[in-house]
Structure 1
């Protein structure tokens, strides 16, 4: 068995390859070549949770699960908000082949899935990007968005101005051809944005529908529980809503469930899964003026696909630590 740590995951899971990988596995999920169960969540004190996410990739003959803790209050405490691992088993003989760091996988594959959705839903000429949130997901989302749209301007905002300025400076240094600004408010950050990524730990609306211009695309990533949301009901009502998995959204997505409970939207408001767009059974954006919204919750099949790729690359490059198990 191989144990593959966080620094090795970062070396072995490149964003361009991960975007292609996420497109493939989401299409497989739609076509029945990937199977997964709804995540099981154990509530902890302080609003924290531990989740178990099992899945089976038929084509790759792999089965496994991600085990992860989500501690939203960890920001600024020296620990990531998401910590865990992905177990990778051979589905033909049941052998445990690898344990892979799940924290870094989550950071990379989440942004890669947002990029896949953005390729399908954002207008081709979209050039202005707003990031609401200043943590690790903001950094990986910037990398991913720049790979799929001709971004020339990035605006960042977070509740801590020092963190926003740090992200601005890092981003400007990493991408010198792109104009990067730190906004004074979330409203100012999103006002002119063609693409908006919300990647916060907020449990209450932080972005309002009245602020979003026609034709924009939103990736809502941060809230992952039924009682939590980053977007107000008006934004969801105005938007054409797409999800990674309908089963997950109707059970776990507060950004959908809360407006539904209020009566702001109906049960048919979810138009399609990203996998359905990828295989061509459903269509995406309906018009140039539509606001499109991708609600991301994260799926076990995405984690296992990434872990399997990392495992194969670790064998090829002689990375990881072998353990008799």
Structure 2
């Protein structure tokens, strides 16, 4: 079995490689070419969680699972909030063939999937990005989305203005973009063409009245039924795109709140993003649409990333270790 650490993932799973991987994985998911039950989430003490995500890249393809813990406070301690492994098995022998550090895979593939969705759904001339949250996913989303749009303005908001300012300075140096911190969510998203919500908010922080016509929103921070980052009027007003329809119907918190209020039905999910990528469904219908991509994250994204990394390891001559 080949074991790939965080540094290997960071070095080889570039956004240029991962964005097309995510497009292909989500097309396969929407076509029904993969096998993916809904994830299981164990709620632990002190707000911690443990997720189990099994899946297969088709009936005859490689299969495996991501096992990941979520400890939100880790970000303030210099550790990844998501930690774990992606375990890959061989389709012919059933033997485990790869063990890949999942924290870095999650950080990169989540942002790459949002970038792919942004490329398909945001206005072609969208050049302003607002990021709500200033943790690890905020940084990866800035980097990934800069690969699909020529950004001229980037703003960031965090519950701590000091942390947001530190993030802005760090990412300005890293990307060469002018990143500025905003004191409020409303100021952050003003006139933004692209908005990413990557927070641990339990209740909505982004309101419909603050979002400009024609904006595109990536909803990323809430990955299970419960916490919500945007208010119900914004869900209702948006052209709502799911990463995976069954997942959003079961675990998409913002969607479920609007549905429980009786303001939308299941048909408010306009399409899956894989259907948009595949040309089977229209994404943005006109310039004034507010589009919303609900990202829950799915194991096919992890397995596609792991397969790419294991192939790269083989090309580099890395030898399996006994298991």
CA distance in 1, matches of 2:307, 2:217: 29
Q: How does 1:160-199 map to 2 (within 5 A)?
A: 160-176=160-176, 178-199=177-198
Match of 1:61 in 2: 61
Change over 3 Å in CA distance of 1:283–1:67 after alignment to 2 = same
Kindly state the Cα deviation for residue 71 of structure 1 after the two structures are TM-superposed.
2.2
Match of 1:301 in 2: 300
Does 2:181 align with 1:204?
Answer: no
CA distance in 2, matches of 1:103, 1:231: 26
Is the partner of 1:87 in helix, strand or coil?
strand
Preserved contact between residue 204 and residue 230 of structure 1 (Cα < 8 Å): yes
Is the partner of 2:107 in helix, strand or coil?
helix
TM-score (norm 2): 0.96
Is the partner of 1:237 in helix, strand or coil?
helix
Match of 2:263 in 1: 264
Is the partner of 1:169 in helix, strand or coil?
helix
Deviations 1:252-288 (A, max 9, x none): 1111111111123222111000011111111111211
Is the partner of 1:285 in helix, strand or coil?
coil
Kindly state the Cα deviation for residue 59 of structure 1 after the two structures are TM-superposed.
8.8
Q: How many equivalent residue pairs? A: 323
Deviations 1:286-325 (A, max 9, x none): 2111100001000000000001111111121245x74211
Kindly state the Cα deviation for residue 77 of structure 1 after the two structures are TM-superposed.
3.0
Preserved contact between residue 12 and residue 314 of structure 1 (Cα < 8 Å): no
TM-score (norm 1): 0.96
Kindly state the Cα deviation for residue 172 of structure 1 after the two structures are TM-superposed.
1.5
Preserved contact between residue 121 and residue 217 of structure 1 (Cα < 8 Å): yes
CA distance in 1, matches of 2:237, 2:74: 33
State which drifts further: 300-309 or 23-32. 23-32
State which drifts further: 118-127 or 65-74. 65-74
Unaligned runs of 5+ in 2: none
Q: How does 1:236-247 map to 2 (within 5 A)?
A: 236-247=235-246
CA distance in 1, matches of 2:102, 2:316: 20
CA distance in 2, matches of 1:7, 1:268: 43
CA distance in 2, matches of 1:236, 1:61: 36
Q: How does 1:2-17 map to 2 (within 5 A)?
A: 2-17=2-17
Kindly state the Cα deviation for residue 233 of structure 1 after the two structures are TM-superposed.
0.7
Q: How does 1:285-296 map to 2 (within 5 A)?
A: 285-296=284-295
Does 2:319 align with 1:324?
Answer: no
Kindly state the Cα deviation for residue 3 of structure 1 after the two structures are TM-superposed.
1.1
Is the partner of 2:77 in helix, strand or coil?
coil
Preserved contact between residue 143 and residue 175 of structure 2 (Cα < 8 Å): no
Does 2:88 align with 1:98?
Answer: no
Kindly state the Cα deviation for residue 201 of structure 1 after the two structures are TM-superposed.
1.1
Is the partner of 1:35 in helix, strand or coil?
coil
Match of 1:146 in 2: 146
Deviations 1:191-218 (A, max 9, x none): 1100000111111111111100000000
Kindly state the Cα deviation for residue 28 of structure 1 after the two structures are TM-superposed.
1.0
CA distance in 1, matches of 2:252, 2:79: 25
CA distance in 2, matches of 1:56, 1:128: 37
Unaligned runs of 5+ in 1: none
Runs of 4 or more consecutive aligned structure 1 residues displaced over 6 Å after TM superposition: none
RMSD of aligned Cα (Å)? 1.4
Is the partner of 1:167 in helix, strand or coil?
helix
Match of 1:51 in 2: 51
Is the partner of 1:52 in helix, strand or coil?
strand
CA distance in 1, matches of 2:62, 2:283: 31
